[in-house]
Amino acid sequence: MGDGLLSHIDEHGAARMVDVSGKAVTHRRAVAEAAIHMKAETLAMILDGRVAKGDALAVARVAGIMAAKRTSDLIPLCHPLALTHAAIEFEPIVEGVRIQAVVETTGTTGVEMEALTAAGVAALTLYDMCKAVDRGMSIDGLRLLEKVGGKSGTWLREREPQ
């Protein structure tokens, strides 16, 4: 792509699924992140394993992995992919949790949407697990950090200064 045209729109302006049959099979990897912000007390409950619904991080990890596997069921023009790896990691931050999703495949199209979906669903699951005690939580910062593989090669988001 890279020509400024939208690949999911045909010459008549209609939505279409991109034909990837002529693309090379390569190893593809994408990393995405999101953050969920909450009261300090809510974060402590998560980290101490005191959430009434159970182990919030374990449930969110499984939800994120499941979401990566089902992305094409949620995003209409995504190709169904045979993923070779999906992982969700959590990092406590000031009054919240940073979520990072890593997704990989060997195929003809990338896994950016799968990584973004995984991070987003993991964040939504933490919200669901904790909403009874903290309805003021907010989710933000859903973004792609890295994309590797395919014709366009590697793309890395420039890190903001800390």
Q: What is the pLDDT of residues 87-131, one digit of tens each?
A: 999 999 999 999 999 999 999 999 999 999 999 999 999 999 999
Rounded Cα distance between 127 and 137, Å, is 7
Domains, the chain, ordered by start: 34-155 (3.30.70.640)
How buried is 61 (Cβ within 10 angstroms: 0-12 exposed, 13-18 middle, 19+ buried)?
A: buried
3-state secondary structure 2-20: CCCCCCCECCCCCECCCCC
Q: Residue 104: CA atoms inside 13 Å, Cβ hemisphere, count?
A: 7
Which one of the listed residues 3, 128, 134, 140 is annotated catalytic? 128
Q: Tell me if residue 128 is catalytic.
A: yes
Looking at residue 10, what is its pLDDT? 77
Give the rounded distance of the alpha carbon of 95 from its chain centre: 21
pTM for the complete prediction?
0.91
